[in-house]
Structure 1
Amino acid sequence: MTDILVLGAGYTGTTAAIRAAVKTRRTGGRVTLVNASTRFTERLRLHQTAAGERLTDYPLDEVVAGTGIDFVQGRVARLDVERREVTLQGGRVLGYDKLVYALGTVTDAAVPGVSEHAYAYDDYRQAVRLAERLDTLEEGTVVVAGGGLTGVESAAELAEARPHLRVVLLTRGRPGSMMGEQARAYLDAALDRLGVEVRSGVEITKVLPDAVEPAGGELIHSDATLWTTGTRGLPLAEASGLTADARGRIVVDSALRSVSHPDVYAVGDAAAVSQRFGVMHGTCQGGIPTGLHAADSLADTLRGKTPKPFRFGYFHQPLSLGRKDAVIQFTRPDDSPRRWYLKGRAAVAYKETVSGSPLPTYKLLKRGLVPAWVFSLTAGR
């Protein structure tokens, strides 16, 4: 038997685990999936959770049922890549022959006060905590830091769901700056319609319990601050001796194996994956294909075959603007904007399709019916 250990059961890790179980079933693969929570978290929808929407609960043991995968609940405390062992909080030790590292990233809390006073989307519980905080406010100000897709989606969702609150979006540049001019104009109009107060050119230097401090400006009052300005890899990877980049992501080769420890595969946000256009940035659109490819590479290696190189190109930037509006920017493979975009109801339907529950697709994946290229076209941000 070959013991295959998958760390992390988000979109990417769950995909990798199911694919690896299916692809190595005849070659003696035994897959164990480790996750801190028993719940499958739809991270793409955490802004809806923060706004107070109750989403469907998917127990992970049911998600992987019928695959032969052994699910273990536990938070990883230590990774020993020389001994090929993972220690969980509480002391349980799991050995492996092959490891798939899919623990994602966490909020970059380098700005003073972020860890203590800001909310983030590092897990489902943090989004629930933000919703619970907002439930206590009859009036007040919510500050959303970061004008990327996550920040814009959150500001729009909160403004629509909680119109009695003032929502302020703070960003260094223009919201949705990666989109084309027409899509950005539509985005700006939507934020204005929802009453979101946008302040561009703002660099936050400190987060306080009831305010944020911009560089060279007066304090901005905040009853709740949501931090979406960037992420970085867990310290666990570098501490284990795996080669990592400046953001703490594991550097991998074309087969998605660690360049320093080839028995370790890294996928999704946790991996620094180089393509012709540069290093991929963290999205579900790109992450799920890495999970599929890593599982295929691992299976090929066990069969004595040479893994194929990973190739990927971006396709779209889906952005919800509350429950009733959206804008979709179609892109070139390097994620630069094309001329085409969708808006309004058509964009809402598109966004809900690509960001819908992956459970139906996982059912097909268990049966070996979903090729890797499908995910690059259908996976959302």
Structure 2
Amino acid sequence: MTASHGNRSSSHGTRSSEVSSRQVVVVGAGYAGVIAANRIQAARRPGVTVTVVNPRSEFVERVRLHQHATDGTGATHALSGILDPAVRLRIASVEEITDAAVVLDDGGSLDFDVLVYAVGSRSVRGVGAEHTHTVGDLEDANRLRSRLRELTAGSSVVVVGGGLTGVETSAEIAERFPGLTVRLVSSGPVAEGLSDRGRRGVTRTLARLGVEVHAGSRMLRAEPGRVVLADGTDLASDCTIWAGAFGVPDLARRSSLPVDDAGRLRTDENLVCLGHPNVIGVGDAVAPPARVAGHIRMSCQAAIPLGAHGADTALALLGGQAPRPLSMGFASQCISLGRRAGVVQLVHADDSPRSVALGGRTAAVVKELICRSARWGVGTRGSAVRWPVSGPTPAGQPQGTSA
């Protein structure tokens, strides 16, 4: 296929007789995609060109979208200021991935020698999706912001989902709009993945902010003006927010690449796509073997080291070397509870909670520093980042140094 380039890009041109041109295409410019592109470019391999394909020219800090929805907190940054200047940026969406090219929605295509699949995740809404909002992407957060500004004192907001996204969203809205009635619906315990101490910190702060918690019953359906729970509870709702499960785009499935039941790209322990040795998967939309990634959850905390490791795998393949297997673990879970409180839950490498958890203003400061460091970490200054925690590995196998 003929490669067609747009913004900050040009045609491939004639291949040099001295240095063979190698094309690396990164699909997606979230946390995983940006750090992968910057890390590959930072290696300055002769003849290697890196092109990022993304539908927008901005990098979106998804960890701030619940804040953006309440007060317009800046959650976007120009990719031109985050990507290495030598990285090419093509503003388009990928319609299909073939054996050696990506087909774009603007009618063009890009040839590749190595492709990094970094399409990320998105909200999967429950029953009554047409009557709910989310904070899963920038457009959804913008729509929610407009709706929240329309509400008057005494209006009701129902947040469905007792995980960390739901907890952060309900706390943020309650703090920013004290005149609203905010309810949090959870099918199980709120913040179930935290330790007892961590959960107590969350529930105490939600209570202080006036959030009504309805735990132990799932949403049956959302309708205009109300939410009906499976236990028969009928909650008034002028604005319903879905903060439940996340899913992934269907690009891999559409392209006949191997996927798991959730549509995530299936890879080996090096993040190389099964049966497609020139395709590497990183971020939320990848499914490596459970022995190295069974503990990994969708998060920027995981996307950054996955992107870095994927870049290392790409460089190894370009150099004709064997890539290293993935080995990454977690250190903490950081939850914002408005702007003045939070919880930092220390965890084992497999993400199971330790007994230690910090709360209050100290945790809020730590959370903010983590958010800032995440954006810094994907940029050119963070291209040499190393993941400090090795992940769980099968007994009898040595742990590698993780990215």
Settle same-fold status: TM greater than 0.5: yes
Q: Which amino acid aligns with 1:20?
A: I
Instruction: Give the corresponding residue for 2:193.
Output: 178
Instruction: Give the corresponding residue for 2:89.
Output: 71
In 2 relative to 1, CA 324–279 (structure 1 residues): closer, same or farther, beyond 3 Å? closer
Q: 2:355 aligns with which of 325, 339, 357?
A: 339
Q: Which amino acid aligns with 1:363?
A: T
Matched, 1:222 2:246: no
Structure 2 Cα separation of the partners of residues 131 and 376 of structure 1: 39
Instruction: Give the corresponding residue for 2:106.
Output: 90
Q: 2:256 aligns with which of 234, 241, 258?
A: 241
Give the Å deviation of 1:53.
3.4
Matched, 1:59 2:78: yes
Identity within the alignment, %:
37
Matched, 1:39 2:58: yes
Q: Residue 315 of structure 1 contacts residue 376 of structure 1 at CA under 8 Å; is this kept in 2?
A: no
In 2 relative to 1, CA 56–174 (structure 1 residues): closer, same or farther, beyond 3 Å? closer
Q: 2:173 aligns with which of 133, 142, 158?
A: 158
Instruction: Give the corresponding residue for 2:345.
Output: 329
Task: Give the secondary-structure state (helix, strand or coil) at the position aligned to 1:18.
Answer: helix
Give the Å deviation of 1:81.
2.7
Q: Which amino acid aligns with 2:101?
A: E
Instruction: Give the corresponding residue for 2:25.
Output: 5
Instruction: Give the corresponding residue for 1:18.
Output: 38
Instruction: Give the corresponding residue for 1:365.
Output: 382
Give the Å deviation of 1:56.
5.8
Matched, 1:168 2:183: yes
Structure 1 Cα separation of the partners of residues 111 and 295 of structure 2: 31
Structure 1 Cα separation of the partners of residues 314 and 197 of structure 2: 43
Structure 2 Cα separation of the partners of residues 334 and 189 of structure 1: 27
Give the Å deviation of 1:57.
4.1
Does 357-366 or 246-255 show the bigger shift?
Answer: 357-366
Give the Å deviation of 1:376.
8.4
**Structure 1: tracts of 5 or more residues without a match:** none
Task: Give the secondary-structure state (helix, strand or coil) at the position aligned to 1:147.
Answer: coil
Note the aligned Cα RMSD (angstroms).
1.9
Q: Residue 285 of structure 1 contacts residue 375 of structure 1 at CA under 8 Å; is this kept in 2?
A: no
Task: Give the secondary-structure state (helix, strand or coil) at the position aligned to 1:309.
Answer: coil
Structure 2 Cα separation of the partners of residues 229 and 75 of structure 1: 26
Q: Which amino acid aligns with 1:143?
A: V
Give the Å deviation of 1:198.
0.4
Greater gyration radius:
2
Q: List aligned pairs for 1:186-335, cutoff 5 A.
A: 186-273=201-288, 274-276=290-292, 278-335=294-351
**Structure 2: tracts of 5 or more residues without a match:** 1-20, 392-403
Q: Deviations over 1:242-276 (max 9, x none)?
A: 11111111111111111132211111101113345
Does 7-16 or 219-228 show the bigger shift?
Answer: 219-228
Q: Which amino acid aligns with 1:263?
A: N
Structure 2 Cα separation of the partners of residues 267 and 344 of structure 1: 34
Instruction: Give the corresponding residue for 1:144.
Output: 159
In 2 relative to 1, CA 132–174 (structure 1 residues): closer, same or farther, beyond 3 Å? same
Q: Residue 289 of structure 1 contacts residue 375 of structure 1 at CA under 8 Å; is this kept in 2?
A: no
Q: Which amino acid aligns with 2:49?
A: R
**Alignment size in residue pairs:** 368
Structure 1 Cα separation of the partners of residues 107 and 134 of structure 2: 28
Give the Å deviation of 1:121.
2.5
Q: Deviations over 1:24-66 (max 9, x none)?
A: x224211111111111111001010111233164111222142
Please report the TM-score for the alignment, with normalisation by the length of structure 1: 0.92
Structure 1 Cα separation of the partners of residues 295 and 22 of structure 2: 31
In 2 relative to 1, CA 245–279 (structure 1 residues): closer, same or farther, beyond 3 Å? farther
Does 339-348 or 148-157 show the bigger shift?
Answer: 339-348
Structure 1 Cα separation of the partners of residues 197 and 148 of structure 2: 33
In 2 relative to 1, CA 56–149 (structure 1 residues): closer, same or farther, beyond 3 Å? closer
